[in-house]
Every structure is written in structure tokens, then in C-alpha cells.
Amino acid sequence: MSAETTTQAEIEKILEEALEYGQTGDFKNALRLAQQAFAMAADGAHEDAFCDAGIQCSMALGWLGRSEEAIEYVQRILQRVVKRGDQVREARARAVYANVLIEMGLDSESYQEASRAISMATSPDQADVLLKAMDLQAIAMIFADNFDAAAKMLDEAMMIADRYDLKRVYATLMMHLGLLNTRIGEAKLEQGDKEAHRAYMQKGSEQTEHAIELAKQFGNKRVEMVGAANLAEFMAEFGRFEEGEKWIEHWYSLEEIATPGNWVHLHYTVSDFELKRGNVEAALEAGKRAIEVAKDISSADNYANAVRRLGNAYEAAGDYKSALEMQKKFHNEFRKRSVEKGHWQGKVDELNREMERVKNLLQDASSNMERLKEEALTDPLTGLANRRAFDQHMEMLKNQPNTKYAIAVVDLDHFKAVNDAFSHVLGDDVLRQVAKCLVNGCRATDLICRIGGEEFALILNGSTPAQIYNVCERLRGSIEQFEWSSLAQGLEMTASIGVAHATAGLTPAEVFAKADNRLFYAKAKGRNRVVTSISAMERSKQTLKIVS
């Protein structure tokens, strides 16, 4: 068995363990293992495992409240799987993406991504992806007060979960059915119907307790933990405080898997619980803890709930000035998060436009290949060779298996921020200057291509690994050290570079994949660096993260 095959098997085993942790709600360990698999796959031609690990990293990061990092992972993986036409992984990635977006308060965007996942998850072995997407759509409907549609979606999802014997998923769906009836009950109370309010709350409580029983039986600690906090709220609503205390204690018995979002939920639950039984000081203390934790995560719903509970506690304490301050804080934070939401909505739209563009190109390529062959091989903006010229050269290398070469993939760091802060016109000037840096730093025998956006690829002929590294390090330094302020005051620019060498048994596409994986790894390790390999020690570390 070859070393490549052994590594692939090792990666798959680690990913299976990571997935198990994720399904049981232990996202810290899920992330630790997914990042280890990601680092291992990044150092080899393990494209499927690389994408699977990236998707799992995104899922765990999203649950841990690290939304920006989660989006960085999943958007890059989506770009790769769409280009490959891998709809199975695209469906899974979009379901994870939808989950991150709903945690950030982007309900409509989450709903759309979940819809795309549903349209792709068409085989029985994708039932878990289908159910995750349906569940997210139901939650978005609940938040939009579209209760009838949410109920139908959850009922259908529960039938599918039962058909495929997905007990852990069934527990999640049951908990969200309890959430649905809670929201209906709250709406009834706003309408002044106290009897209907209590009936729906009782129903929600029973469904949540049933979800916890299933979670205990089939190993879904996240449902068990979230459900325990929910039941404490129900018990406070019913005035059954001793039972509520037991559920809070049960929550603490699971605290080793608690994410920041779970802690916010617990603290504002305790605040509401203590307020309802008349312990105002304890309610204030818990509310303040909820706000403190909520500041560092991207969950809009958690933050809003924390602010509301603390405001209620201040009002009960007769501290109307602080209660008013909480209202102001809420509105200020709402405006701030609205701006942030606008930024992320833009990124979502940008990604979707790019996905459509790539899909259209792939369709054109298959139906109109002769026309595409006649297109120019030069990028009009930079004067470099374009993606088509790069692909043609790669095809040539494929037919010359003994040729010695290396591929370097160069990506500008934070280039979107340049376009946002200075304009797309200036962004074009930056790309032209980077092209000059690359041309000046390479040899006449090297091929320099702009393969898309702010990404460049170099095919470097011959030379030893040390010489290739020196070339790439020189290129990186020339980009960093250029007087960017001559283009705009305050402008700075750096680049990350991933490098791979042709070796026996690797196709040019696999060499490129290794270089691209190492570029991704360079980004994850802090940007502005050249990565030519990843040591065994480095692959075993669990410190990998995307630095935004």
C-alpha cells in the first residue's frame, strides 16, 4: 500500500471521528480533528478529503461562534466543489453555510442556501443533508412567524428521519417543534389569549422533554444541553422552580461541550428564571454575564435575547436609567449588526454570482468548446497569460511526464477590502502592479498566469526546491515591499503563496491541487507567507485557523 493511500485512509478515519463528535454536539473536539485532517489533506493530492475536512471545520467553527472563519472555509470549499461539478459535496457545504448564516441573523440568505442544498440532496445517502437543510428552512420560517409553513416542513422532515432511522436528527427536529409551539404561544400572549398561550407552552415543554429523552438515548448532547436550558425556561413560566433548578443542574453536567452560544443561552435563561421567582440581584448578575459572552460571538438572536433579559432585570430592580441604557445599547448594536449583515449579505451575493458564472462557463465549455478554443490567451487587465493559457500548458505537461517543474499559486491577502475601501479602479491598478512584480521576479522560461480575480499561478521550470522557494519568497517580498502608498495613502498589500513540485505519479492537476491546498494552508496560518510543505509535526497540531 502506497504512502498516499495510507494517508488517505488516515484522513478518512480522523474525519469519521470528527463527524461523530459533531453529531453528538462536541464541536471543540470535532474542530480539533477536522483541522488535523485538513492540514494532512492540504499537504497532498487528497482533494475529496480536503473538501470534506474544510466543510467539517466550517460546521464546527460556526457552532463555536467563529462565524467569519466558518464562512472563509465554506466559501473557499464551495468554489472548489462547484468547479469540480461535485454536487454531493456542494449540497453538504451549502447546508453548513446555511447553518452559519442563520446563526448570524441572515435568515433569508440561510433559507436560500438551504433551498439549494435541498435541490441537490437527491439520493438516500444524502438524507442527513436534506434533513439539515429542511430543519434550517423551518427555523427561518419560525423566526419570520410563518408558523403553518414551519409546521409542515418539520412534520415532513420528521417522517423522513423516521423512515431512514436517523434518531439523532429526529431529536433535533423534535426540539425545534417545541420551539415552534413556544413561539406560537408567545404570539397568542401578545394577542391577549392567555389560555392558548399556556396550552402551546405546555405542548412545547412536552415536546422538548421528549427531544431530551431521545437525545440521551441516541447520543445527541447538543440537543440535551439546549433542551435543558429551554425546559428551565418552561418551568419558570409555569412557576415550577425546583424542577427548573434540576434542569439547570443537568445543563451544567454537560458543560464540557458548551459553546459560547450555549453559555449565552444558559446565562440569559438563568436571568429570566431568577427574575420570575423574584431574585432580582441574581437575574442582573446572570444577565450581565450573558451580555459579556454574547459580545464575542456572531449570533444575533443570542445577543438580542441577552439584552432583553438584562433590560427586564434592570426594570424590575427599579433602575430605569440602566434599563433605558440597555434599550439604547440594543438599538446601537442592532444598527452595528445591520451594517455587518449588509457586509456579509454582499459576500453571499458575490459568492453566488461567482458560482453561477463558473457553472455557466462549465456549461459553455461542454456545449461550445470550439468557440472557447478561439478565445484569446491573454488577460486584458494585466497582460499576463490567462486561465485558458494555463490550462493548455497543464495539458502539455500531462503529455510530458518526465518534465521537472513546480507550480506556485499566489493569492493577494484581503484584496476585497482594497476594493471596498478604495474602489475597484484602484483594485485594478493593484493587480497590474502585482503582475509587474511577478514578471520582474520570474525567469523568461516561467509561465505567469492570472487565473481569476486576485489569484495568479506560476509554472516554474526545473530548479531545486530551495531555488524555487527563494524565487517565491522574493516574489512575496517584492509585493509586500512595493510602495503601495504611491497608489493610495494608507494602502498596504501582501500575498500568500502555495508551492508544489512535480513528482513521479502525480498529474499536473494533482500538483496544482497540492499547491492550491498549501496556499489555503498559508492563509489559515496567518497569510503573507510561502508554504512549500507541511511537516508531520505541523499536521498534528490543532492550532489551525483562518485569520480574517
pLDDT digits (tens, 9 = 90+) for 184-217: 999 999 999 999 999 999 999 999 999 999 999 9
Query: Does residue 326 fall inside a structural domain?
Result: yes
The pLDDT score that the predictor gives to residue 505 is: 85
Q: Is 498 exposed, middle or buried (0-12, 13-18, 19+ CB in 10 A)?
A: buried
Cell numbers for 507: 498529474
The answer on 430 and 497 residing in a single domain is yes
Task: Print the domain residue range for 270.
Answer: 259-337
Coil vs helix vs strand at 457: strand
Euclidean distance between CA atoms 186 and 224, whole angstroms: 23
Q: Which helix (H) or strand (E) segment is 99 a member of?
A: helix 87-103
Angstrom distance (rounded) from CA 208 to CA 185: 14
Q: Could you report the per-residue pLDDT of 275-327, keeping only the tens digit for each?
A: 999 999 999 999 999 888 887 776 666 777 788 888 888 888 888 888 787 77
Pick the last residue of a domain from 313, 337, 361: 337
490 and 412 in a common domain: yes
Per-residue pLDDT tens digits for 340-349: 555 556 666 6
The residue out of 337, 367, 402 marking a domain boundary is: 337
pLDDT computed for residue 373 by the predictor: 47
In whole angstroms, how far apart are CA 42 and each of 212, 364, 531? 39, 31, 11
Nearest to 26 by CA among 240, 257, 300: 257
Q: CATH number of the domain at 321, please.
A: 1.25.40.10
Whether 352 is covered by a domain: the verdict is no
Among 308, 337, 366, give the residue marking a domain's end.
Answer: 337
Mean pLDDT of all residues in the chain?
86
Q: Return d(Cα 265, Cα 269) in angstroms, integer.
A: 6
- State the residue for C-alpha cell 426594570: 315
Residue 456 sits at φ, ψ, to 5 deg, of -125, 155
- Does pTM top 0.75 for this prediction? no
Looking at the structure, do residues 497 and 407 belong to the same domain, yes or no? yes
Is 162 a domain residue? no
Q: Give residues with Cβ within 8 angstroms of 12, minimum separation 6.
A: 49
Q: Looking at the domain assignment, is residue 28 inside a domain?
A: no
Q: Give the residue from 172, 171, 167, 133 showing the smallest Cα distance to 153.
A: 133
Among 184, 140, 142, 137, CA closest to 156:
137
Considering the domain boundaries, does residue 458 fall inside one? Answer: yes
- Whether residues 526 and 421 fall in one domain: yes
Residue-wise DSSP of 13-62: HHHHHHHHHHHHT-HHHHHHHHHHHHHHHHTTT-HHHHHHHHHHHHHHHH
Band the pLDDT of 146: cuts 50, 70, 90: very high
Number of domains in the chain: 2
pLDDT at residue number 544: 45
